[in-house]
Amino acid sequence: MNYSKPTHILSSYYAPRGAHRMYALGQQLAQLYLSPSDKLIGIIGEAGSGKSALIRGMFPGLELTNDDNGVYIRPLPILEQERSFAFFSPHTYHLDIRFENGFTQMTELADAISEALNKGRRVVVEHFDLIYPLLGANANLLIGVGEQVLAARPNVFGPDPEEIKAAVYTSLPYRLMAHTAEDICGMFISDEDNERCGHADLRHGFAITFPETKPSFDIAELEKKVNEVIAQDLPVTYVDDHHISIGDSVQICDGPRVHVHRTGQVENFRLLDHFIYDRFTRSYLLVGCVGEKTDELLEKMDNRRQMPGWV
Q: 81 near 98, Cβ under 8 Å?
A: no
CATH superfamily of 173-306: Threonyl-trna Synthetase; Chain A, domain 2 (3.30.980.10)
Residue 43 vs residues 40, 104, 171: alpha-carbon distances, Å: 10, 19, 16
Band (pLDDT 50/70/90 cuts) for residue 3 is very low
Closest CA to 144 of 44, 42, 17: 44
Q: How far apart are CA 47 and CA 66, in angstroms?
A: 12
Query: Region 190-214: what's the mean pLDDT?
Result: 92
Q: How far apart are CA 83 and CA 62, in angstroms?
A: 20
- The confidence score (pLDDT) of residue 164 equals 94
The alpha carbon of residue 127 and the mean position of all alpha carbons in its chain are separated, in whole angstroms, by 14
Span 244-266, pLDDT tens digits: 999 999 998 988 888 999 999 99
Closest CA to 18 of 58, 47, 53: 53
Q: How far apart are CA 31 and CA 28, in angstroms?
A: 5
238 pLDDT higher than 80: yes
**Domain 10-159 fold:** Rossmann fold (3.40.50)
Q: How far apart are CA 5 and CA 153, in angstroms?
A: 8
Q: How far apart are CA 64 and CA 77, in angstroms?
A: 10
Band (pLDDT 50/70/90 cuts) for residue 304 is low
Q: What is the DSSP string of 195-213?
A: HH-EEEEETTEEEEEEESS
- The confidence score (pLDDT) of residue 84 equals 56
Q: Where are the domains of the chain?
A: 10-159, 173-306
Span 24-58, pLDDT tens digits: 999 999 999 998 899 999 999 998 888 989 999 99
Q: How far apart are CA 126 and CA 129, in angstroms?
A: 8
- The confidence score (pLDDT) of residue 305 equals 59
Residue 265's Cβ-count burial label (10 Å; 0-12, 13-18, 19+) is middle
- The confidence score (pLDDT) of residue 90 equals 65
Which amino acid is it at 224? K
272 pLDDT higher than 50: yes
4 pLDDT higher than 60: no
DSSP structure class, residue 2: -
Name the pTM for this structure.
0.84
Span 111-147, pLDDT tens digits: 999 999 998 899 999 999 999 999 988 999 999 999 9
221 pLDDT higher than 70: yes
Phi, psi of 57 (to 5 degrees): -70, -35
Orientation angle between helical segments 128-135 and 161-187, nearest 10 degrees = 170
